[in-house]
A and B are shown apart, each in its own frame.
Chain A
Amino acid sequence: MNRLVKAELLKLRTTRSLYGTVAGVVVLVALGVSAAIATAGTNGHAGLETTEGLRGVFGGAVNAGFLLLVLGIITTAGEYRQNTITAALLITPQRRQLIVAKTIAMAIVGVSIAVIATAVTLAVSLPWLATKGVHPSLFSSDVAGVLVGSAAVMVLFGLIGIGLGAIVRNQVAAVVGSLAWLLVVENLLVGLFPAIGKWLSFGASGSLIGSVDAGLLPVGAAALLLLGYGAAFIAAGIRLTATRDVIA
């Protein structure tokens, strides 16, 4: 299994998708954090002296989660798109092991990218906040808690992507479908049935970054919910991968 995880990490390191994802995360996080600081206290946005305002700044990285979702999808569905799945299965005919190795590799990559995102968040926010005379306590739940929560969202989105890619196999359909879900469908559903919002990805992510909204699940439950989605998608992906024919 160790060999397979190494091979999966090597696959990620030897194409440009990983570097594109990292670059995208750095840019999105820097922009998100900057926007949160720049708009704080204006047009009804909470000011930086408030808990809500600070959470908005330190939770800015969460918006880059969809990039990890896409990277996860590419990790599994990309094997079908490029037809590298055949070469992989000729070395490792045990398909379950292949998907498990991808899951572990994606968790490692997800944590690494989350660490980078956290570093970018701090590098952009702390000096800027200092010029405004705001000196947040790093180990408070408003800062550390939100940073950890936002990192967890990124990692879990990556794992959900692994499962989705293994289920759908068509990379373009999986990426377009999941973005449509995040950007359109989920908003529509929440608009129609507000009560289910806390069970969907935005609600759960929001809880993890400490959004001030009474209708959300507690942090632990939200983390378990996202983990549950990831585990369910991966389990379904493994099951389907094991039984489906691999035709050119």
Chain B
Amino acid sequence: MLRHMNNAIEINGLTKRFGEVLAVDDLSFTVPEGTVTGFLGPNGAGKTTTLRMLLGLIKPTSGTATIFGRPFVELDRPFEAVGAALEASSFHPGRRAHDHLRVLATAAGIPIARVDEVLAEVGLSEAARRRARGFSLGMRQRLSLAAALLGEPRILILDEPANGLDPQGVHWLRAFLRSFADQGGTVLVSSHLLTEISLLVDEVVIVSHGRLITQSSLAALSDHVTPPVRVRTPQAAELRTALTANGITTEPVDDETLHVLDSTTESIGRIAAGSGIVIYEIAAGRFDLEELFLDLTTTKGAVR
């Protein structure tokens, strides 16, 4: 992480206990200003609870969460610091989209003209006079985002914003957030799918069971693992013995296929040739973000 950067968001030792359930457990991470940070974890990992604590909606059992050094509830005009879209259904079904935003703008003292601007920004101008009841999930996501943008905030916090979006919608969201970040904005975006946001984020914060698994750049994350090499041979047993003799771990897939861990096609080829083993097929595994993510969030803390 670059040291000269200021942190837009700092989470420090954040813990939340709901009765018996420890939803968030001593979680600490930072979101540097001007970055797009992915907040990742399986469903139930404590992402939403963390975001709600950050936004003053849930009181932490212990620990702190600050925005530009202050708790959210102590910010003057908090909507100018942070715009948040936490869920796609926080509208009165009988209220028109334009009215929903007009209510929020009125409470914030934001000129009503801004309502039309944000509706245009998220591509909802056509639906402005419709009641939210008839909105698709994708339209709701866009309306949530429009509400978040009202105060022209420096930080956007989005909880699972891609849920319910069609591929064009995801593409649009990605471009939108990229341009927000390019203009100096900071984004914290949660998701349970790493691939969904891997094209978008600079940094990832991965949580599981309420605990931090890792915070790193996306690039550094992929350096942690070497994908397995897949080998097909009629002499699988012999090849295993030869590789094991060289200190290389293998996993049988079927009678004639092996996965070779932490090795390269070159060294496997050489060992096979040395032992006179016939190889039908050998292929370097591809780096699979989703598999890595699953691996990290299920084995808990393999990487640091």
Chain A positions 1-38 with a Cβ under 8 Å from a chain B Cβ: 3-4, 6-7, 10-11, 14-16
* Distance to closest chain A CB from B118 (angstroms): 13
Question: B-facing mask of A182-220, CB < 8 A → 1, else 0?
Answer: 000000000000000000000000000000000000000
The answer for the CA separation of A170 and B109 in the assembled complex, in Å, is: 30
| B→A interface (CB under 8 Å) | 48-49, 52, 55-59, 72-73, 75, 78-79, 82, 84, 86-87, 89-96, 99-100, 102-104, 106-109, 147
Chain A positions 81-103 with a Cβ under 8 Å from a chain B Cβ: 82-84, 86-94
Residue of B nearest to A244 (CB): B59
What chain A residues lie within 8 Å of B109 (beta carbons)? 3
Q: Which of B57, B79, B90 is the one whose CB lies under 8 Å from A82?
A: B90
Q: Are the CB atoms of B103 and A94 closer together than 8 Å?
A: no
Q: Are the CB atoms of B91 and A82 closer together than 8 Å?
A: yes
* Distance to closest chain A CB from B145 (angstroms): 12
Residue of B nearest to A246 (CB): B57
Say whether A248 faces chain B, with CB atoms less than 8 Å apart.
yes
Given contacts A7-B107, A10-B106, A90 and B55 within 8 Å (CB-CB):
yes
Q: Which of A78, A87, A93 is the one whose CB lies under 8 Å from B56?
A: A93
Given contacts A14-B99, A245-B58, A246-B52, A93 and B94 within 8 Å (CB-CB):
no
The answer for the CA separation of A86 and B84 in the assembled complex, in Å, is: 10
* Pairs A–B under 8 Å by Cβ, sample size 9: A3-B109, A4-B107, A82-B90, A88-B107, A89-B56, A91-B107, A93-B72, A246-B52, A247-B52
Interface centre among A3, A16, A92, A93 (most CB of B within 10 A): A93
The answer for the CA separation of A120 and B48 in the assembled complex, in Å, is: 50
Q: Are the CB atoms of A3 and B52 closer together than 8 Å?
A: no
Q: Which of B58, B73, B87 is the one whose CB lies under 8 Å from A83?
A: B87
Question: B-facing mask of A138-151, CB < 8 A → 1, else 0?
Answer: 00000000000000
Q: Are the CB atoms of B90 and A83 closer together than 8 Å?
A: yes
What chain A residues lie within 8 Å of B82 (beta carbons)? 90
Question: B-facing mask of A63-93, CB < 8 A → 1, else 0?
Answer: 0000000000000001000111011111111
* Distance to closest chain B CB from A144 (angstroms): 37
Q: Are the CB atoms of A94 and B73 closer together than 8 Å?
A: yes
The answer for the CA separation of A86 and B72 in the assembled complex, in Å, is: 14
Q: Are the CB atoms of A14 and B87 closer together than 8 Å?
A: no
* Distance to closest chain B CB from A96 (angstroms): 11
The answer for the CA separation of A15 and B84 in the assembled complex, in Å, is: 24
Given contacts A83-B90, A247-B52, A89 and B107 within 8 Å (CB-CB):
no
Q: Are the CB atoms of B92 and A82 closer together than 8 Å?
A: yes
The answer for the CA separation of A247 and B59 in the assembled complex, in Å, is: 10
What chain B residues lie within 8 Å of A90 (beta carbons)? 55, 78-79, 82, 84
* Distance to closest chain B CB from A90 (angstroms): 6
Q: Which of B52, B56, B103 is the one whose CB lies under 8 Å from A14?
A: B103
What chain B residues lie within 8 Å of A88 (beta carbons)? 104, 107
* Distance to closest chain B CB from A100 (angstroms): 13
The answer for the CA separation of A7 and B104 in the assembled complex, in Å, is: 7
Besides the contacts A91-B79, A248-B48, what 16 more A-B pairs have beta carbons closer than 8 Å?
A: A7-B107, A10-B99, A10-B106, A14-B95, A14-B99, A15-B94, A78-B92, A83-B89, A84-B90, A89-B57, A91-B107, A93-B73, A93-B75, A245-B58, A245-B59, A247-B52
Q: Are the CB atoms of A10 and B92 closer together than 8 Å?
A: no
Question: Which 4 A-B residue pairings sit nearest by Cβ, starting from the closest?
Answer: A7-B107, A14-B99, A93-B73, A7-B106
What chain A residues lie within 8 Å of B103 (beta carbons)? 7, 10-11, 14
Q: Are the CB atoms of B104 and A247 closer together than 8 Å?
A: no
Q: Are the CB atoms of A6 and B52 closer together than 8 Å?
A: no
Given contacts A14-B99, A87-B104, A91-B79, A245 and B91 within 8 Å (CB-CB):
no
* Distance to closest chain B CB from A79 (angstroms): 9
